[in-house]
Amino acid sequence: MHYNDWELRRFLNAIVPVSKEEEEDWIRSTWEERRKGTSYVFAIEVNRSKLLVGGCALTGVSITNRSASFGIALYNKTYWNKGYGTEATQLMLSYGFNQLNLYRIHLTVFEFNERARHVYEKVGFTQVGLHRQALFRNGRYWDIYIMDFLAKEYRKRYPQQEKL
């Protein structure tokens, strides 16, 4: 299980390893959340080969506020730094803004996760806040950055993605 690799989990809010059964239970729970319209979880695969390399999601979907939280993880380190995270993030933004009609997509990212911060800034997220010294990892405290992307910013940055 790649998910239990510490190098991956240190970037997530998952410091305790999980069993195969716990992962399967979590996957099943996402089906119910999708039916309710509160969460949309997708696999990240390599070029239609069906090789699972990660997952991404829009969670905590609020129809009233037209907002959701974005999260992503590439479980297979072989595929880090190859553009899969950027592409998946862009696809999820398009899905959120164009299909779900969201107005705001937000996320949090740990201070030391420079690779993720770079991707988020590259696709258009803006840092809007900070949880100071909110995360303890490897013997020290780290900040957690709060970032978001608004639909009007998305439309300006990606005009070719306008709704049909």
Q: What is the pLDDT of residues 95-148, one digit of tens each?
A: 999 999 999 999 999 999 999 999 999 999 999 999 999 999 889 999 999 999
Determine the pLDDT at residue 16. Answer: 57
Per the residue annotation, which of 40, 120, 145, 154 is the catalytic one? 120
**CATH at residue 11:** 3.40.630.30
Determine the pLDDT at residue 54. Answer: 83
Q: Write the single-letter amino acid at 99.
A: Q
Q: What is the pLDDT of residues 4-29, one digit of tens each?
A: 554 554 455 555 566 777 777 767 77
Determine the pLDDT at residue 8. Answer: 53
Helix axes 114-123, 84-94, angle to 10 degrees: 40
Q: Which residue has the higher pLDDT, 158 or 18?
A: 158
**Residue 69 sits in which domain range?**
2-161
Q: Coil, helix or strand for 130?
A: strand
In the annotation, is 120 catalytic? yes
Q: Which residue has the higher pLDDT, 54 or 26?
A: 54
| Overall domain count for the chain | 1
